[in-house]
Amino acid sequence: MVYKYNDTLNDNELKLEVKSKKKWIILFPYKILDIYIGEQSKSICEEIKNILKKAKEQINIDINKVIFVGGYSSNDLLTSKITLELNENIPFFLKPSNPYLSILEGAVLFGINPNIIETRIAKHTIGMGTRSIWNDEIHSEKGTKIFDEDSKVWRC
């Protein structure tokens, strides 16, 4: 497949290289990765900008920090493109040394001792529609209770 792909190209900068036939290690030229990652980063940046706008308009919160977690965050090319694109909107980016393990480690720690996490929803989150309806029986008195004007109910 790699050789058929290369035979169809006139551009040497887009040709793939097979490093080892036994392990099928394929080297992708930077130009291919830049095109693919560029499309992904634009899409991710647009989504983050929409979330920032909604956070500002709907709950009057300025988000100034982003933490990269999960497998996709281990891609340095992707995270650098996102950081460059959003640096005027978000001044601070944090990337753990093993972002792909962050979610797993949190899940394991929660499984060992569920009391280490009082709530599973961050105080300020980029997730939309994450605030469940307030229930006095299950929600802590220490929690934040916010009135949702749209649906006229109290939410966590």
As given in the structure block, the two tokens for residue 124 are 């300020």
Q: What is the pLDDT of residues 42-88, one digit of tens each?
A: 888 888 888 888 888 888 877 888 888 888 888 888 888 888 888 88
Indicate if 17 and 40 belong to the same structural domain: yes
Same domain, 130 and 85: no
pLDDT at 5: 61
Same domain for 17 and 31, yes or no, is: yes
Residues 113 and 38 in one domain: yes
Give pTM, 2 decimals: 0.54
Q: What letter represents residue 126's amino acid?
A: I
pLDDT at site 10: 67
CB neighbour burial string for 98-118, b if at least 16 within 10 angstroms, e if fewer? ebeebeeeeeeeeeeeeeeee
- Name 113's Cβ contacts closer than 8 Å, sequence gap at least 6: none
Residue 147, φ and ψ in degrees, nearest 5 = -85, 125
- For β-strands 153-155 and 17-20, DSSP reports them as unpaired
Regarding whether 90 and 48 lie in a shared domain, the answer is yes
Q: Are residues 100 and 124 in the same domain?
A: no
d(CA 3, CA 15): 9
| Distance linking the first and last C-alpha atoms of the chain | 53
Q: Are residues 23 and 74 in the same domain?
A: yes
Considering the domain architecture, whether residues 104 and 129 belong to the same structural domain is answered as no
Q: Which of 42, 35, 45, 44 is nearest to 14 (CA)?
A: 35
Q: What is the pLDDT of residues 2-51, one digit of tens each?
A: 566 656 666 666 666 777 666 677 777 777 778 888 888 888 888 888 88
User: Are both 18 and 44 inside the same structural domain?
Assistant: yes
Q: Which domain holds residue 92?
A: 2-117
Do 79 and 152 lie in one domain? The reply is: no
CB count in 10 Å sphere of residue 37: 19
Decide which of 126 and 95 is more confident: 95
